C-alpha cells in the first residue's frame, strides 16, 4: 500500500503571500474561501483513499496555514524501497522565512511515524524540489532572495520579487545518501514556477515518463535535461503548464496506475498519459492553486510503499 501525507486545511489562508499566485496584480494578498477549500480537500482525500492509498493527515496549526502543502516538509530516503519507516530517513526541510515555524510540528509528526530525522541547514523545500525521474534524481534550485517590491515600467509601476526556495548547497548534503552522478541539478528561471514539482511530473513504472515545462528553466538546465532525459520527456504546452499540469501526482496501487491531475488539462495531454498505460484522474483543487499557488502534488508528501 502506498502511504501519503496531506495537511488539514482547517486554518488555510494566505499568511505571508510568498509566491506569485498568492497576490493580485497590486501585490495584495488574496482571500481564501475556506468552505470551498474544505470541500475540495475532502473530495481530494476521499479520491486518494478510493484509489487505494493510505493517507496520514498532519494536524492543523492556526499560525501555520502553509502546512496544507506538506510536499515542502521534507523528503523520504529511500522512498521506493518496501521497508519499515524506521529504516528510512526523513530529510527535514529548511523552509522560507514565512513558513519556518512549520518544522516545529513536522519533525515530531514524522518522528512519530518512525522515521529517522535529519535536519537540512541550507534552504531546501523537500520533495517539491527533489524527486526521482527514471534512474536519476532531479534537484531544482534557484536564487534565494528576500521578498520585496521593485519598480518597473507599466501599471502598476512596481512588482513583487519572490525568489526561489532551495539552494544549490543542498547537493553537498544529499550525496551522503545518493551518489552525485545520479542527481541532475536544474536551475529554475521563472518565479511563477517556484518549485520543481510545478515544472516536472515523473510518472509510470520506474518514473520513466516525465511531464516537463522547459521555459521555466535556464537554458543551461534545459540542455542538461535534454542530454540525460530527452527520450522520457513529454513537453507541456503553455496552456497546460499554467494550469499546473506538472503539479500532478502518480499513484500506483493494487487498483491501477493513476496520474492525479488538476482539473482542466487538455485532452491532448490526457491522451499522452493514457498512451503510456496510466489512467488520468482530474481533481478540482482550484482554491489551493488560485489562492495558495499549490495544486495536487503540493498537497501530497509521498512516504512510499509501506513495509
Q: What one-character-per-residue DSSP string does 92-123 give?
A: E-B--GGGGGGHHHHHHHHHHHTPEEEE--SS
CA pair distance 66, 73, nearest whole angstrom? 10
Q: Residue 211 — φ and ψ, nearest 5°? A: -70, 135
* Reduced DSSP (H G I as helix, E B as strand, rest coil) percent helix, strand, coil of the chain, to 5: 35, 30, 35
**pLDDT tens digit string along 157-200?**
999 999 999 999 999 999 999 999 999 999 999 999 999 999 99
CA 47 to centroid of chain Cα atoms? 19
Residues β-bridged to residue 7: 58
Q: Can the peptide bond before residue 78 be classed as cis, meaning omega within 30 degrees of 0?
A: yes
Give strand pairing partners of 199: none
Mean pLDDT (the chain, rounded):
97
Burial class of residue 236 in the structure, from the number of CB atoms within 10 Å of its CB (0-12 exposed, 13-18 middle, 19+ buried): buried
221 has pLDDT over 80: yes
| CATH dotted code for 2-305 | 3.75.10.10
Give the pLDDT of residue 307.
76
Instruction: Indicate if the alpha-carbon torsion angle 7, 13, 19, 21 is positive or negative.
Output: positive
Q: Taking residues 198-227, what's their average pLDDT?
A: 97
The whole-angstrom separation of Cα 114 and Cα 17 is 33
pTM for this one? 0.97
Cell reading at 62: 492556526
Amino acid at each position: 500500500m502506498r502511504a501519503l501525507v496531506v495537511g488539514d486545511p482547517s486554518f488555510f489562508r494566505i499568511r505571508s503571500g510568498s509566491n506569485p499566485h498568492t497576490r493580485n496584480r497590486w501585490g495584495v494578498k488574496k482571500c481564501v474561501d475556506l468552505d470551498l477549500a474544505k470541500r475540495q480537500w475532502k473530495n481530494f482525500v476521499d479520491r486518494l483513499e478510493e484509489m487505494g492509498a493510505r493517507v496520514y493527515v498532519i494536524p492543523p496549526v492556526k499560525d501555520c496555514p502553509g502546512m496544507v502543502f506538506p510536499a515542502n516538509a521534507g523528503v523520504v530516503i529511500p522512498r521506493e524501497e518496501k521497508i519499515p519507516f524506521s529504516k528510512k530517513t526523513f530529510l527535514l526541510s529548511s523552509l522560507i522565512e514565512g513558513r519556518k515555524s512549520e518544522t516545529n510540528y513536522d519533525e515530531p509528526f514524522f518522528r512519530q511515524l518512525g522515521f529517522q530525522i535529519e535536519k537540512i541547514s541550507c534552504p531546501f523545500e523537500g520533495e517539491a524540489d527533489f524527486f526521482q525521474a527514471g534512474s536519476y534524481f532531479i534537484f531544482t534550485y534557484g536564487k534565494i532572495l528576500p521578498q520585496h517590491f521593485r519598480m518597473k515600467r507599466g501599471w502598476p509601476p512596481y512588482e513583487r520579487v519572490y525568489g526561489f526556495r532551495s539552494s544549490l548547497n543542498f547537493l553537498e548534503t544529499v550525496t551522503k545518501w545518493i551518489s552525485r552522478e545520479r542527481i541532475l541539478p536544474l536551475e529554475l528561471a521563472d518565479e511563477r514556477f517556484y518549485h520543481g514539482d510545478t515544472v516536472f511530473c515523473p510518472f509510470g513504472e520506474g518514473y520513466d515518463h516525465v511531464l516537463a515545462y522547459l521555459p521555466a528553466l535556464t537554458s543551461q538546465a534545459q540542455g542538461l535535461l535534454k542530454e540525460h532525459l530527452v527520450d522520457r520527456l513529454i513537453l507541456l504546452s503553455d496552456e497546460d503548464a499554467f494550469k499546473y499540469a506538472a503539479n500532478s501526482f502518480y499513484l500506483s496501487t493494487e487498483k491501477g496506475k493513476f496520474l492525479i491531475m488538476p482539473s482542466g488539462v487538455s485532452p491532448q495531454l490526457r491522451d499522452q498519459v493514457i498512451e503510456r498505460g496510466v489512467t488520468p484522474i482530474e481533481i478540482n483543487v482550484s482554491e489551493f492553486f488560485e489562492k495558495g499557488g499549490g495544486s495536487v502534488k503540493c498537497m501530497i508528501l509521498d512516504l512510499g510503499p509501506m513495509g
